[in-house]
Homo-oligomer: A and B are copies of this chain.
Amino acid sequence: MFCHIDFSMKIKAAIVGYGNVGKSVEKCIAETSDFELVGIFSRRAPNTLNSPYGAKFFEQKELFGERFQGQIDVAILSVGSAFDAQELGLKTAAHFCIVDSFDTHAKMKEYVETLNTAGKMCGTLAIVGCGWDPGLFSLMRALFASVMPDSIPQTFWGRGVSQGHSEAVRKIEGVKYATQYTVPNEEAVRLAREGRTDFATREKHTRECYVVLDYEKHFGKPESDITEIEKQAFEEEVAAQIVNLPNYFAEYDTTVHFVNEAEYLANHTRMSHAGRVVAVEKHGEVGSRAEFELALDSNPDFTAQVMVAYARANYLLARSGETGAMTVLDVPIKYLLRGGKSGIAFV
């Protein structure tokens, strides 16, 4: 019923990946008394990496060797939406229980089903999509749809930085730095609160890009030799490429701002994000509105905290014999709570 677990034994965690999210998970584990860090497994050479918390680094392939078998309660995959995130998840789940923040909504079902089969075979438990969306926002959409069955929950993201969209802009020839802000349309939010649900994609969000161009590299000559007309033509060309990029920008109204490196580094390197889920139901004159909102100065820090909470749940569920794959919808909230804090205190 309620979980009364002795947390004098710590949960042995491994971090897989040492980018922004990996570093945030490292910090979160250092500050979480019921966890201990076995090590950080990165693709980069261990001797090139430094931990502010004195963590041990290992090559990623070592994770699958004999040395760590049975030594890790849960591996926290901190590779974001890397192209091989699914493959790495499956490979890791063959050896260890895992949590991740896999975030390609469209591939989630297939990923969970494959992991479920693998986990049941190997006796491990995977809890995937443990960020804020997918993650807490998924919980809210399902909760709202359950208790307000005539509602169609609406999700708004931002204002905040989308790593995926920023990355897409950075891949364009001539772009040195780029940050993409997803901006919710406040008028659409207001209408959603009144019960409107039939928004076109373009109506709910706009996109803003802050871009630094590498003119010298593009034109193959010193910046002093490049005319304003040349620069402007290049900017127009890049802007056109951005706003027409299919899947990323073509369906949205996008504005592109070209800024210099100093301004970019001063103002556009933060990783803040925000968002809300709104559900409205009306039965004649009688209405209900439910709303969940997040405002995060650091998207990676918050994502890390969500993953660590679900890593605790993974440990508890795996110890009770669960194997296979789960999402946040499968996990009772009590399993996220620290030992000692009985669930009842919150009821």
Contact = CB atoms under 8 A, between A and B. Distances in A.
Contact of A337 (B146, B288, B293): B146
Contact of A293 (B109, B291, B347): B291
Q: How many copies does the complex hold?
A: 2
A336 B287 contact: no
Given A109-B344, A288-B296, A297-B285, A332 B329 contact: yes
Interface in A281-337: 283, 285-298, 301-302, 305-306, 309, 324-334, 336-337
Interface size class of A (residues with CB under 8 A): 35 or more
Contact of A347 (B116, B134, B291, B297): B134
A122 interface: no
B147 A1 contact: no
Nearest to A295: B289
Contacts of A293: 289-293
A83 interface: no
Top-4 shortest CB links A-B: A146-B336, A142-B346, A329-B334, A329-B343
Given A32-B149, A108-B347, 15 more contacts: A1-B325, A129-B347, A136-B147, A139-B333, A142-B337, A146-B333, A146-B338, A147-B306, A149-B338, A285-B297, A286-B297, A288-B296, A289-B294, A292-B292, A329-B332
12 contacts: A1-B112, A32-B149, A108-B347, A138-B347, A139-B143, A141-B346, A142-B333, A147-B306, A288-B305, A289-B296, A329-B332, A331-B332
